[in-house]
Amino acid sequence: MRLFILLCSMYTPQDEKRLYEQAKYLLKQDGENAEEIMVQLHDVINYADWKYYVQNQPTLSDSEYDALFKKLVHLEEKNPELVAADSPTQRVAKGLSERFPTVSHLVPMLSLDNTYNADDLTDWDRRCRELAGTDDIEYCVEPKYDGAGISLIYDNGALARGATRGDGVMGEEVTTNIRQIRAIPLSAAFLKYGVKQIEIRGEIVIHKKVFDAFNKQRVAEGLSPLANPRNAASGTLRILDPSEVRKRGLNALLYHISSYTLTEGASRPAELATHYDALKLLYSLGFPSPAPDMKVFTHIEDVIKYCHDFEGRRDDLPFEVDGLVIKVNDFAMQDKMGATSHHPRWAVAYKFKARQATSKLSDVDFQVGRTGAITPVAKIEPVHIGGVTVTSVSLFNEDVIREKDLRIGDTVLVERAGDVIPYIVKPLAELRDGSEREIVFPTHCPACESKLERQPEEAAWRCININCPVQLAEHIIHYVSKDAMDIRGLGAANVQKFYDLDILKDIPGIYHIDWSKLKGLEGFGEKSITNLQQAIEQSKRQPLNRLIFGLGIRFVGETTAKTLANSVSDVREFYTWDADRLSTLEDIGPKVASSVVDFFAREENREVIKKLGDAGVNLLNEHKGESAADGELAGKSFLFTGTLSHFKRSDAEKMVEDKGGSILGGVSAKLNYLVVGEDAGSKLEKAKKLGTVNILTEQEFLALVN
Ligand code: IVH
């Protein structure tokens, strides 16, 4: 087996340090020499895009990135003759296209043959050896991305055309939308390798996190959510408004070079002799390719073992994979083996177990959320999908029910993709026997009986009774949740229990719980009460953005809460802010601004804030106007190793990043701190050997960050 030990990256560590420093420097520049600054901005923005989309390690905060981008736009407006065709600003499309022209692919885009088990793979390996006329075959194994297939053509190093797969022979030309995808370089140094024109194939994907956040936002805005990351990716490619495409944060993985021509007199570069080297080349030129996730094997038994192991880890990847693709590594051997009209003979997909199953829709519950929105939830007969048993699935709103024509008693197709929430794809209408019943949406709140209302532009029906008991409990549940004030031990079930028992009636009540009422309550021994008291106490010191998010202001998500918190020294300053002033803040539009104004204008909300302050909850932001890069750990890099017992690795990493530090993937001279848990192994050894890394215990780390 051959592993990628050294992956040549687009940038050396020295480049990375320089570009990061350059970014900070450029932010402060007023600019005498526009041309030079423009070139530097161009480099820095491309670097930030590559770090974010290809490496999945953001270096700059959103506001730093935007400031650099705006600066470049400004300089280009002043100096139009200096605008480069591959400037990052040129991704931003000027207008809306009417439709997408049909184009033919240079080489047909074939599909893949599928295998499902060890026997299938063993058969395929036997056929490969017969076709290749040798037993000496190297197989590359890489993820099979579940997205939308695309073809990219680069002419003389510049992105010239992007097209969807279509029927494999003809696709739709979507270059303008492809240019919005910041993972895809607008230009690359192909000419250096003597490559004049090249067609690259790959998949447009959307990260599961981005997809979930996007859907949450849609539902909050009263729109229907998109079905799954795959549909979201392919649908987005065909949106007519490129600025909307840009907002959706698509990503890409490029896994195949389908054809290329050389410049006159050039001979084929050594990098284009094997698939493995070709993808490594793409990666080194800045493309997102599977190179870091790729393995090479010489025996099918090892491929099979790897496939089994990988299937168990599929949820660890940030995007959806529905299998692995096994490819003969040597291009000359691939050519010899050829293709059918449907698929190449030198490649095969190993498909993971399906994440779809059918079940029966037995009933629909109607739940009242924090904002009063009524969510229909389908109760289905228990069905096992992707390692969990699914019994209820959100239907989001009435429109979803009507669009899909769902009925009680229907057999439904349910999909659950990894950590993406389960979803009803469609009813199987052909299995209906006439006994199915219409789903009747309630006209009154299931909790307080008030009449429900629906705004013309919204998909949600709402209960607008401010004293609706379910909404009150939901407010508290949101306040204590992990992304808000993070009060562990006071999860949804306990809040509801406390609420029903009159122990907790509103948010400030959290800080005045009558602990004697908990005596004898199941699940509340002395130890858990002490832990809960500690968690409540700790929440008083949470940063202001978490409090603002926890207050549950409509349309204020985590990012907006950070923007808001960063603009004041004390949350009560918002009492005097009007919508115009709020609209000057980044990413705050009129809808959010008016919701924030309404919230802080209400006497009962001010009363809640006052009570929280009186209880000792932090209402201040001492770091007003600072961004993470200016934080206490700015410029410091960390790595965690071994079994950590005092905190979760993801939480600790977030702590570092919140304070402006960065997380590295391995021990190197660039690493400042290695935090070691129990049974730390080779990383600790390496750090000791280097002698330049500060080695911290978990306690020392906590002391440092606090
Ligand atoms: S190779 C001739 N590699 O899966 C080359 N395809 O089900 C054929 N896909 O049409 C494609 N990940 O859209 C290849 N690593 C990967 C892939 C991949 C996803 C898609 C591709 C293909 C489909 C077949």
Checking if the pLDDT of 477 tops 70, the result is: yes
Considering Cα of 216, then 217, then 221, then 223, what sign does the dihedral take? negative
74 close to 80: Cβ distance less than 8 angstroms: no
Q: Which of 253-257, 307-311, 312-316, 386-390 has the lowest mean pLDDT?
A: 386-390
- Per-residue confidence (pLDDT) for residue 634, from 0 to 100: 75
At 338, give phi and psi (nearest 5°). 70, -165
Q: How far is the CA of 149 from the centre of ligand 1 (A)?
A: 7
Instruction: Give the up-direction half-sphere exposure of residue 110: CA atoms within 13 A in the CB hemisphere.
Output: 19
Cβ–ligand 1 contact at 346 (below 6 Å): no
Tens digit of each residue's pLDDT (9 = 90 or more) over 158-203 = 999 999 998 888 999 999 999 999 999 999 999 999 999 999 999 9
Q: What does the pLDDT look like over 298-331, one tens digit per residue?
A: 999 999 999 999 998 888 888 889 899 999 999 9
- Residue 142 beta carbon below 6 angstroms from any ligand 1 atom: yes
pLDDT at 95 over 60: no
Residue type, 569: S
305 C-alpha to center of ligand 1: Å? Answer: 21
Which entry of 17, 28, 51, 144 is annotated as an active-site residue? 144
Ligand 1 mean position, distance from CA 424 (Å) = 26
> Mean pLDDT over all residues of the chain?
88
Spatial separation of the C-alpha atoms in residues 380 and 363, rounded to whole Å: 7
Give the type of residue at 645: S
Most confident of 195-204, 639-648, 695-704: 195-204
Give the separation between CA 333 and CA 577, rounded to whole angstroms: 69
3 state SS of 345? coil
pTM over 0.75: no
- Of 139, 144, 327, the residue with max ligand 1 atoms within 8 A of its CB, to mutate for a pocket test, comes to 144
Look at residue 2 in the predicted model and tell me its pLDDT. Answer: 46
Read off the amino acid at residue 354.
A
Q: Is the CB of 144 under 6 A from ligand 1?
A: yes
- Residue 5 has phi, psi (to 5 degrees) of -85, -45
Looking at residue 617, what DSSP letter applies?
-
- Rounded to the nearest angstrom, the distance between the alpha carbon of 207 and the centre of ligand 1 is 18
Query: Which atom number of ligand 1 is nearest to the Cα of residue 146?
Result: 19
Closest CA to 672 of 703, 644, 635, 625: 635
Which residue's CA is minimally distant from atom 18 of ligand 1? Answer: 144
Task: Write the DSSP assignment of 517-542 as a string of letters.
Answer: GGTT-TT--HHHHHHHHHHHHHHTT-
DSSP for 442-469 reads PSB-TTT-PBPB--TT-S--B---TT-H
pLDDT of residue 241: 84
Q: How much is the pLDDT for 363? A: 97
DSSP assignment of 40-79 equals: HHHHHHHHHHIIIIIS----S-HHHHHHHHHHHHHHHHH-
DSSP H or E stretch at residue 145: strand 139-145
Are β-strands 637-641 and 673-676 bridged in parallel, bridged antiparallel, or unpaired?
parallel
How would you label 410-438 residue by residue, b for 16+ Cβ within 10 Å and e otherwise? bbbebbbbbebebbbeebeeeeeeeebee
| Nearest protein CA to atom 13 of ligand 1, as residue | 149
Q: What long-range pairs does 26-32 form, CB within 8 A, spacing at least 24? A: 26/68, 26/71, 27/64, 27/67, 27/68, 27/71, 31/71, 31/75
Catalytic residue flag (residue 17): no
Lowest-pLDDT choice from 24-33, 78-87, 669-678: 24-33
Are 672 and 634 contacting, i.e. CB atoms less than 8 angstroms apart? no
> What is the rounded radius of gyration, in angstroms, for the C-alpha atoms of the chain?
28
Q: Whose CA is nearest to atom 17 of ligand 1?
A: 144
Ligand 1 lined by 256 (C-beta under 6 Å): yes
Beta bridge partners, 347, equal 327
